[in-house]
A and B are shown apart, each in its own frame.
Chain A
Amino acid sequence: MVIKKQWIALILIFALTVSLFSGCKSGKKTVVIYTSVDQVYSEKIFQQFEQASGIDVQPVYDIEAAKTVGLANKILAEKDNPQADLFWNGEILQTISLAEQGAFEKADIAAANDLPSSFVDSNGYWYGFGGRARVLIFNTSMISAEDCPQTMAELSTSPYIKQCGIANPVFGTASTHAAALYAYWGAEEAKEYFTALKTAGISVLEGNSVVKDYVSQKKLVMGLTDTDDALSEMAENKELDILFLDQGTEDMGTMIVPNTVAQIKGAPHPTEADAFMEFLLSAATEQQLIDDGWIQLPAHAGVTPAAQIGTKTIQFMDIDFNKVYDLMETSKEDMTDIFVQ
């Protein structure tokens, strides 16, 4: 009897365990999306799309700890038998890298017709939209806007450099920014610049959110971060402000990091993938993402930027992201040599 009870218990436990996650496949249309965009923002868009289209979204999220390469690697590993339909990325260089490695399918999306040409792949493999800018966040109780460096070049010679922070430029948007400087200034000059930053004693922190936390907590006077991190902290702390660097007529302009979306080559649900891309790339969705705080700067004409930016005329860096991608590897190697402890 004891033996029978043990086996019955084991079978029940196993059945319960399996039943916890065995799901019935419904007949609903489905689209599988791999996204590196923070779940709190992307989930809302997925729910809106589901309501509007009746297509079930099955998302897979990346984690910051994997430094946005987690899902990119998954897409590459699944290339021969793709499981995902779309890749929605919060930045651009990883998308270009995947495009170069043949991971994407060309897509013709009507909603993207009014996007700037620099935001659209010339071969039609990926589309960029709505961006975050790289800004200088500073604590107004410790420094005035006039005393802040006004350009990236001035940063390395600022008297406040030791109280300035940047995210680790080996990963994420800080890495994209570094590669953009390599493309704009040239590799040698850019390397000298970052070496000078290191020598001057700039603080290298874990990520953009840590930079804004430290400035908010007055551990640092200022720091380079993204607009989504900066503005979310400014909503909590009125002593904070941001500066768009390089706004002079002769200056290079502020770096903007667009979101990108692409259809996976051999996607299991291409029709549904097209439908989601049309939805994501629409002006209405871009406005929604701005209102939610994920992006601050629109690519579509007629879409209102984030309220904190308002009607400011911002000069953006005019760069070719493909050129930035070409220098990404060199930039990363140099950043690793200079900044990895």
Chain B
Amino acid sequence: MKALMQKGRPIWKTGAGLLLLALTAAPLFYLAIGLFVKLAQDPASVLQKVDGGMLLQSMLLNLAAAGLSVLLGLLVALGGWMFFPKRAVKIALGLLLFILIPPFIHVQSWIYFMDRLYALWNGWTGAAANFSGSFAVILTVAFAYLPITAGLTLLTLTAVPAELADVCRMESRGLKGFLRLYMPMIYPAMLLSGLLVFLLNINDYGIPSLFGVNVFALELFARYSAGGTIHSVFFASLPLMLLCMAILGGMGWYLSRSSFSFSGFESKNPYEKESALKLPAAAGMVILALFLFVPLVNLLVEAVQAQDILRIFTDSGAELLYSIGISGLTAVLSLIPGLLFAYWFYRAKARSWLLAISALPFLIPSPIGGLSLIGMWNTPLLQNIYTSPIMPAIAMTARFAFLAAAILSMAVSRLDPALFDNLRLHHPGPWRFFCCLLAMVWKEVLAAGLMVFALAMGEFGMTLLVTPPGYQTLTIKIYNYLHYGASETVAVLCLFMLLLVLLIWVCVYALWGKRTNE
């Protein structure tokens, strides 16, 4: 903040930073101020015992899920690298696009799949088995976030410079050689992707609750309704928030120090003919096949049992349109401050601090974020916005905008500073300047927008609390029907979302390929 106030900084640079903070962390500042006031007035009403056991249990659960996802991601990446070395980059980017599939679609598909497997097992052995509990959470989360872990790992494999690859080929062969020489180069990406999966899930209660697993995020939420105040619950969530901040800070520090760059991609694989790596690579291909076909096949099998697919579709048309609308608006609302922030702060010392602060709504359980938004927006002055259909988009922008700012500031920081001088000279005026900048970082803008869109489509912890009466997102409707047991309806709705995602995937892939070739 001190940097923002230094003399000589243009007012609009300060404005860009404040805009990002206003859209993201403002509700938490509002909550924090309230917390301090309450602590001063009545500390007993705020200071609550934190359930350390539950917090530890949630952390271990998510670490296990992230760890399994990283391991599966490594195997899938190996598969793509070994069997399709020339297309590895395209496969990696294609994998990353699959993050658009909301996690609950994977969850529901795996429930159907494992139920059928267990029915077979029961038939053969007579032994009953359940797909529930921590094992089910770990497995489904690992597969749901496989695009991140596999995609990033594969991209890093292809980013190893050709000269180094040649050295590896000459100096060391076999699995030992790969582990000794290549693994140190790719484990930063593996670590990064694993930590991202951890952060995305530690504050979520939706998937664990589907399998009967209680987690810290839900415990906090339940505590509020049992007579706690929002400030006491916020206080109880601080250990988790601080932990996540530490992880995020560590990731940022690690990224800034390690040679972790996607500036160039080489498709050379010095171990292409190495038989020792073929088995894990083949296992990776099986895992990839499971990832692709379990959702598709199981949803299709359930959906064909539905009696009136057209009626299900028309009954949910409003929810589908609303979900697309607010997710799209969330992406737009995130990109605007993200671009402004990226331009003004890509080299500023305050960049990391501002990003960390704007990430706070992402680092706390989504219900706490939702409750803080209600406290801030449900006032006579802002009520018209609070009760409007766009409120969920504002909530989700608060949660995810920092991702857009982080991706775009990394993209802009890679551009040549001399380019900026040329742009100012030949394209005077802010609008033309920004349009040219946009043209140079359009891939990253698209990536950031799609990531925010994907996360927004699957979000419900905050959305549940701020969606105005008369409106409903498709995610909430699906969760409602999941409980009711209407598996055919759920399958049809999930298939719609899957098809939508595949359509976006095809368009982006085509656009990306076309623009890359131009």
| A→B interface (CB under 8 Å) | 3, 6-7, 13-14, 17-18, 20-23, 32-33, 38-40, 58-67, 69-70, 72-74, 76-78, 80-81, 83-84, 94, 97, 100-101, 163, 168, 170-171, 203-207, 209-210, 213-214, 217-220, 232, 328-329, 332, 336, 340-341
Contacts and interface: CB of A to CB of B under 8 A. Distances in A.
Given A3-B432, A58-B470, A65-B479, A206 B211 contact: yes
A205 B328 contact: no
A205 B132 contact: yes
Contacts of A17: 325, 328-329, 332
Give the 8 A-B CB pairs with smallest separation, nearest first.
A64-B483, A206-B212, A58-B469, A20-B325, A58-B470, A21-B389, A69-B225, A77-B374
B102 to A, nearest CB: 13
A209 B328 CA distance: 35
Contacts of B128: 163, 214, 218-220
Contacts of B483: 38, 63-65, 207, 209
B130 A83 contact: no
B214 A170 contact: yes
A70 B464 contact: yes
User: Which interface class (under 10, 10 to 19, 20 to 34, 35 or more) fits B?
Assistant: 35 or more
A20 B225 contact: no
Most B CB atoms within 10 A — which of A23, A33, A163?
Answer: A23
Most A CB atoms within 10 A — which of B435, B472, B484?
Answer: B484
A77 B375 contact: yes
Nearest to B380: A81
Interface in B55-105: 57
A63 B480 contact: yes
A335 to B, nearest CB: 10
A63 B464 contact: yes
Nearest to B226: A329
B52 to A, nearest CB: 13
A213 B212 CA distance: 15
Contacts of A170: 214
B49 to A, nearest CB: 11
A225 B81 CA distance: 51
B133 A341 contact: yes
Contact of A59 (B130, B325, B470): B470
B498 interface: no
Contact of A74 (B118, B222, B374): B374
Given A18-B329, A207-B483, A341-B133, 4 more contacts: A14-B332, A39-B480, A76-B225, A81-B380
A60 B214 contact: no
B383 A210 contact: no
Most B CB atoms within 10 A — which of A7, A32, A67, A213?
Answer: A67
Nearest to A221: B128
Contacts of B387: 83
A333 to B, nearest CB: 10
A80 B34 CA distance: 15
B326 A21 contact: yes
A77 B371 contact: yes
Contact of B130 (A73, A101, A214): A214
B280 interface: no
Contacts of B118: 219
